[in-house]
Amino acid sequence: MRKFFAKYKFFGIVLSLLSIVIIYLIYNALKPKERLPIYQPSMINPELVDSSLHYKKKYHTIADFELINQNGDTITQKDYEGKIYVADFFFTTCPSICPIMTKNMGAIQRNTLDDDDILLLSHSVTPKIDSVPQLKKYALEKGVIDTKWNLVTGDKKKIYELARKSYFAVLNDGDGGEYDMIHTENFILIDKEGRIRGTYDGTSSEEVAKLLGDIEILKKSY
């Protein structure tokens, strides 16, 4: 009897390992793949959605834009076509949440540095103050890598319209006028088709970690 078991011991080990592999493959095949929602106006807090979009159910994408970055280059939606990107709204003289947000956006930059499919886009909400030289100074101070991260300025009303009607980043409480000021801690994850796939508190390290995880989930969907 002992000789019998010894003879077939190797066969038994191989069969056990093969069974484990088969079970693992079946489990992975049956396990639902993680997917991120595609955010539409009807899924967002109504206070963040412009009234003109309240009844739009689907096909929401970020509107076309034309802004100027820290190097004086024109940046449009075409620079982000076919890319996953994280967007936010800030200003360089902000003493409160913006330094934390910039630090956390810097962490995202470091974690995605070798991935050309991931970009960052920060919109100034005080474009008159945040001129190209001011943005460049800020970019150098914060370690912004030009090929990865654009800090953009431009027409204030256009930027505010993007914040309210495209990114759903702020309450609809102004018109982009001279004394109007929006302030939001939101980071917004945008997919390669220009659709919102997640919103996160840019001042929270836990939320930023979740954002990085969601970027990986989104990458696997392509």
Would you say 66 and 73 are in contact if contact means Cβ atoms under 8 Å apart?
no
Angle at CA 198, nearest 5°, toward 192 and 172? 105
Residue-range domains of the chain with CATH: 41-220 (3.40.30.10)
Q: Tens place of pLDDT for every residue, the chain, 222 residues?
A: 455 445 555 555 655 656 565 654 554 445 556 789 998 887 776 666 766 666 666 789 999 999 999 999 999 999 999 999 999 999 999 988 999 999 999 999 999 999 999 999 999 999 999 999 999 999 999 999 999 999 999 999 999 999 989 999 876 555 555 545 677 899 999 999 999 999 999 999 999 999 999 999 999 999
Would you say 88 and 201 are in contact if contact means Cβ atoms under 8 Å apart?
no
* Amino acid 58: pLDDT: 72
CB atoms within 10 A of CB 58: 10
pTM of the entire structure? 0.81
* Amino acid 96: pLDDT: 87
Q: How far is CA 144 from CA 7, 72, 77, 173, 187, in A?
A: 65, 15, 20, 31, 17
Would you say 221 and 192 are in contact if contact means Cβ atoms under 8 Å apart?
no
* Amino acid 179: pLDDT: 46
* Amino acid 22: pLDDT: 60
